[in-house]
Chain A
Amino acid sequence: MTTTLPPPEPKHPSSSTRTYYVVHETSYTYEHPVGVSRQIVHLAPRPLPWQTCRSHTLHVTPQPEILAEREDAFGNPISSLYIESEHSSLVVRSSFWVDVRARDYPADDATPPWEEVRARLAYRAGRPPQPEDLEAARFLFESSRVRNKRELAAWTGACFSPGAPLLVGVRALMNRIREEFTFDPKATTVSTPVMEVFERRRGVCQDFAHLMLSCLRSIGLAARYVSGYILTHPPPGRPRLIGADASHAWVSVYCPGYGWVDADPTNGVFPSLEHVTLGWGRDYDDVIPLRGVLLGGGEHELEIAVTVVPIEEYESVFGTPPPVP
């Protein structure tokens, strides 16, 4: 399946726009043959004011009987695929060209006091909410991986002093997580509960995103989970390697008057030119890159290879010039 927009124009990295080529390949090898497989795929970049997808290709082996695109309940582009022929491996390869433009974040001090934001989101019977507030309310409550806890509210309180502008608090919370938590891929699994991450002070980007969401929602703010990629920087003098990247996750906070502000607690930054967005939901479960059910298969081996390449490095990584007509 391919969607095509005008081809990317190779250009030098500018301060306001960057162009990336992203490949995300997931390969399953099964112990026994699989008869039927049905999967939901969240691997296409969501169109955004600061992000344009120039072309996206989803290549599935074996060839699915049904491959359909639609939007999920949160407006993310998804594909659903259905394979009925017997197979002993499944490869889902998503690749796309995307332009990312710099975002104008409001000055932290210029954002409304956080209590005001919380009050806006509280329900008052019979008064129609502002549409953007109602949209935000989707991301205000507990969800399967996000907890609302008084313990977390108390911990978060240190970052949100009374009357503090929203983004001052958000930045403080983001930095606190970055400083007090250790990035440790061995500490957690995909199913580690957020409260365990909180206690053990370690985890990966997904854990930190869920923790930050839990903190924000626990004090009555609306925040969503963002799934995507981040540009990595190879050690100086070393080449960029194919397949050496990974999925990334961060959060987005509702900031009335501005919209949504992204914050990456793993890296302590408000994302801009180096983050590529796939989509968002209440938590990871809403935007799992590839989830599904199959018949047969037994045990499986899984390999995931992600490559994020700026267009100007394309040739040095892949050995051919970027495919420009």
Chain B
Amino acid sequence: MPEDFLSSYAPPPGRYDEMVDASHEPRPHWRAFLAHLSGLSVETMRQKVEFVHDAIASDGVSYNVYADPKGASRPWELDLLPLILPADEWREISAAVAQRARLLDAILRDLYGEQRLLAEGLLPPALVFGQRAFLWPAIGATRPDQVAMHVYAADLARSPDGRWWILADRTGGPSGAGYALQNRMTISRALSDPFRELPVEPLAPFFSALQDSLYRMSPANGETPLAVLLTPGPYNETYFEHSFLARYLGFPLVEGQDLIVRGDAVYMKTLRGLRRVHAILRRLDGDYCDPVELRADSALGIPGLLHVIRAGNVLVANALGSAVLETGALTGFYPAISRRLFDEDLRIPSIATWWCGEEPALEYAIAHLDELVIKPAYPTIRMEPIFGHTLDAAGRERLVERMRAQPHAYVAQEWVRLSHAPTWGRDTDRPLARAASLRVFAVATPNGYAVLPGGLTRVAPHEGGDVVSMQWGGSSKDTWILSDGPVTRIPLRRPRLGVADVAQSAVDIPSRVGENLFWMGRYAERCEAVARLLRAALLRVVDAEPADRPALAALAWVSDRLEILPERGDERERRKEKRIPPLPSEVDTGWFLAAAVDPSVTGGLVANVMRLHACSNHVRERMSTDNWHVFHRLLRKLPGKDASLGAALEALDEVMLACVSLAGFAMDDMTRDESWQFLPLGRRLERLAHLARVAACVLELPPTERNASLEWLLEAANSIVTFRARYRRAPELLPVLHLVVLDESNPHAVAFQLRDLAVSLVRVGAELGSPGHGTEGHYFAFGEELGALIAKLRTLPLAGFEPESGDALEEACKNLAGLLDQAERIAFRISDELHRRYFTHAGMPAPVGIDPK
């Protein structure tokens, strides 16, 4: 097929083609690859394209298009055919990228240190002081002998004469190396024969170098260094890459809230306590990293991080503020700086760039618009490049007007007619020529910059297009650098199931996971409890029996105490002051309906389901598809704001069903690692608090309402069936209280929750320890308290609850309500303590140089 392949390939005139020369002969470094393709039929090529497609889908490689909170992610686009470059050409590129990395690192150190380059007039102050990306608080934060730019990427392009140019510098925290690695894993399998037989340079050493140099440059002081990868979170456009790289490098993937600064050091919050972090590979924009000194509105950062950097206790790669060099406006000043600092000319020049903030440059740009591409001067401005030659007269005028209004915001770049490379057309079954650009990566090592032999090649989506960007719909390619010496094959996938990996993963579960599971448990239980209570009320509303009036009044009163009903009148004040409401003389049944269907009722059903949804979203990867499906069904079945009574009742049944099956999944379907136990713990605590409160409220009611409440209490406590089976008669106070409060065998009784909690807390303490406090201590206090409460319930004199016991009855009710109050309070205290100890780690002394292993 090579003849077909070549003859059907039609690169546009006037461009350099990566594969064929001017006379349409394959370039020497493509010949061996083309020979391999020769044996393949169109059908085989189709299969290979499908293989690539499937591999991307099954690996879940994705790219989020501008942070759509609904999670719109698009599958990663990868072309079957690699870009191939020969060894001699690569040596030049590699040396040029390393040279440039060293230069930019030196400039960064100077800008955040002595600022000699500004003093010597080698850089215009406007491009430093005038940039938002220049972070003033970072001045002097790191020592001048420390690397500022650990990872660097350059976007390169080739002009029609075959020369390479640097189009852009990525200095903040470049993305793409992970995608390059993922591309290699996929294409080396899809094209395994040519890949095996051609001397393709391996990628793995670059990533080991990255790992190694972060470890070596981090201030570990003899401790085993812990490096983490800091991501802005799942909505970031390259989140897939963050999680992929984190796994590959063996760094825990963390969000800002997973890290905490205590004293002069930064720690990762894990369920086993705080672990000192020595290096942070960041993908979070610098100005978001520390709300104390940088953007105060950042919820993604780590308060106090700059303080730790200044104290020299953590390595942040790249240094905060390094994105200041991403502006193309600066590139025109680099040749002179390179000569001044290193007495070297740049091996590969930047594409000619004019910063319009200088007046002659602005006039030049306007006069030569046809030959130029207009881009934003600062990377913080989102704007698609504008090719001057594509504009009509009106468009031109508009652009010139914009440029004159804010000249400093624009740069004009020479329009490079990008070289083309073959891509395999899925629909056309033949190679298509597309404009290509190459992102090359460098990493700082103790011996200078090491360059990834390969890179992320991106191609334009359409014929004739010169914009190559994944954000604008482009595709990517694997990049094969052919060695002229022997190559060592290094497997890219490390063994996944090593003992160390397993042990490690158990230690490093971020607290956030446990916290979300805990709240998932609490909210699931709360949803179910609220649904049961409202169902009991709404059923009585539907029946409209006059005899139910006292029960409804009691239900309204109890629901108010639980803050389930909408706020009315002076309710807000009352709740704030924790005053007990009077028993309502008249019940508006609309209150119950609103609590069931109106999302604006803070303590109502819908609001709680939404909270449950938010927690579950954060632990989505721990839920099975079925589990998730139940969840979505629940969301779909939520009643509308104007739902009728009947529709609301149906929805309540759905919510209860869904909550029950979620509980089932939790017990039966989720991995029981250290974090899992917080889910049933949350459920247990919520149930204890709720039951204790409801039962206490019923006991506090006047006798008529109290007696009218026994039946709905059984319904709310999900114990009506048990009661009927056991007693076969209408509810009476003593047996109801026994079943709902005292019965240790009833999973819906207060006593059951207390006993189960006592056992669970001992288990949690034993498993996770109590960091900073040794392993004993606190939980035994709770254990004793729980035990004392259980004992009091067991020995509670029951005679007072018998019918006809008169004044003794009121005394007994008051006494038991007091115990239930204690039970509720202990539930909240335990919840607070779990937070402090395992999730927020507040108020816990920071460990000093400990390694919990």
B261 smallest CB distance to A (angstroms): 7
Check B291–A134 contact: CB distance below 8 A: no
**CB proximity to B under 8 Å, residues A56-113:** 65-66, 72-74, 80, 82, 84-86
Q: Which residues of B contact A86 (CB under 8 A)?
A: 842-843
Cβ-based interface call for A11 (8 A): no
Cβ-based interface call for A142 (8 A): yes
What are 10 pairs between A and B in contact, CB < 8 Å? Answer: A36-B260, A84-B263, A86-B843, A124-B121, A125-B358, A140-B125, A141-B130, A292-B303, A293-B292, A295-B842
B244 smallest CB distance to A (angstroms): 31
Check B405–A150 contact: CB distance below 8 A: yes
Check A123–B405 contact: CB distance below 8 A: no
Which of B137, B292, B842, B843 contacts A292 (CB under 8 A)?
B292
Q: Which residue of A lies closest to B141 (CB)?
A: A73
Check B263–A141 contact: CB distance below 8 A: no
Check A126–B336 contact: CB distance below 8 A: yes
Cβ-based interface call for B559 (8 A): no
Check B129–A140 contact: CB distance below 8 A: yes
Cβ-based interface call for B118 (8 A): yes
**CB proximity to B under 8 Å, residues A271-302:** 286, 291-293, 295-296
Which of A38, A124, A134, A141 contacts B307 (CB under 8 A)?
A38
Cβ-based interface call for A239 (8 A): no
Query: Looking at chain A, what size class is its interface with the partner chain?
Result: 35 or more
B378 smallest CB distance to A (angstroms): 11
Q: Which residue of A lies closest to B298 (CB)?
A: A293
Check B261–A38 contact: CB distance below 8 A: yes
Q: Which residue of B lies closest to A137 (CB)?
A: B125
Q: Which residues of B contact A291 (CB under 8 A)?
A: 292, 296
B840 smallest CB distance to A (angstroms): 7
Q: Which residue of A lies closest to B845 (CB)?
A: A84
Cβ-based interface call for B732 (8 A): no
Among B122, B125, B126, B307, which residue has the most Cβ atoms of chain A within 10 A? Answer: B125
Which of A80, A138, A150 contacts B129 (CB under 8 A)?
A138
Q: Which residues of A contact B125 (CB under 8 A)?
A: 123, 129, 134, 137-138, 140
Among B120, B140, B293, which residue has the most Cβ atoms of chain A within 10 A? Answer: B293
Known pairs A123-B125, A141-B130, A292-B292; A128 contacts B120 (CB<8 A)? yes
Check A36–B842 contact: CB distance below 8 A: yes
Q: Which residues of A contact B115 (CB under 8 A)?
A: 134
Cβ-based interface call for B547 (8 A): no
Cβ-based interface call for A223 (8 A): no
Convert A19-47 into 0s and 1s, putting 1 for each residue whose CB lies closer than 8 angstroms to a CB of B. Answer: 00000000000000001101110000000
Cβ-based interface call for B758 (8 A): no
Cβ-based interface call for A127 (8 A): yes
Known pairs A72-B137, A73-B136; A141 contacts B842 (CB<8 A)? no
Check B304–A82 contact: CB distance below 8 A: yes
Complex formed: what's the CA distance from A82 to B836 in Å? 18
Cβ-based interface call for A49 (8 A): no
Q: Which residues of B contact A138 (CB under 8 A)?
A: 125, 129
Complex formed: what's the CA distance from A294 to B650 in Å? 44
Q: Which 3 A-B pairs have the closest CB atoms?
A: A35-B842, A141-B130, A137-B125
Check A73–B137 contact: CB distance below 8 A: yes
Besides A86-B842, A295-B840, 13 new A-B residue pairs in contact (Cβ under 8 A), listed by A number: A38-B303, A40-B292, A40-B293, A74-B136, A123-B125, A123-B126, A125-B333, A128-B120, A129-B121, A137-B125, A137-B129, A291-B292, A291-B296
Q: Which residue of A lies closest to B130 (CB)?
A: A141
Check A286–B842 contact: CB distance below 8 A: no
Known pairs A38-B261, A141-B130; A126 contacts B122 (CB<8 A)? yes
Which of B129, B260, B358, B840 contacts A141 (CB under 8 A)?
B129
Which of B121, B137, B358 contacts A126 (CB under 8 A)?
B121
Cβ-based interface call for A235 (8 A): no
Complex formed: what's the CA distance from A33 to B47 in Å? 63
Q: Which residue of A lies closest to B296 (CB)?
A: A291
Complex formed: what's the CA distance from A150 to B405 in Å? 8
Check A127–B121 contact: CB distance below 8 A: yes
Q: Which residue of A lies closest to B120 (CB)?
A: A128
Check B840–A84 contact: CB distance below 8 A: no
Complex formed: what's the CA distance from A38 to B296 in Å? 13
Q: Which residue of A lies closest to B138 (CB)?
A: A73
Q: Which residues of B contact A141 (CB under 8 A)?
A: 126, 129-130
Convert A114-140 into 0s and 1s, putting 1 for each residue whose CB lies closer than 8 angstroms to a CB of B. Answer: 000000000111111101001001101
Convert B399-429 into 0s and 1s, putting 1 for each residue whose CB lies closer than 8 angstroms to a CB of A. Answer: 0000001000000000000000000000000
Among A36, A138, A144, A295, which residue has the most Cβ atoms of chain B within 10 A? Answer: A36
Check A65–B263 contact: CB distance below 8 A: yes
Among A86, A124, A292, which residue has the most Cβ atoms of chain B within 10 A? Answer: A292
Check B118–A134 contact: CB distance below 8 A: yes
Complex formed: what's the CA distance from A142 to B133 in Å? 12
Q: Which residues of A contact B262 (CB under 8 A)?
A: 36, 84
B712 smallest CB distance to A (angstroms): 34
Complex formed: what's the CA distance from A144 to B121 in Å? 26
Check B843–A38 contact: CB distance below 8 A: no
Known pairs A80-B307, A140-B129, A141-B129; A134 contacts B136 (CB<8 A)? no
Cβ-based interface call for B264 (8 A): yes
Q: Which residue of B lies closest to A127 (CB)?
A: B121
**CB proximity to A under 8 Å, residues B278-331:** 291-293, 296, 303-304, 307
Check A82–B263 contact: CB distance below 8 A: yes
Q: Which residues of A contact B307 (CB under 8 A)?
A: 38, 80, 82
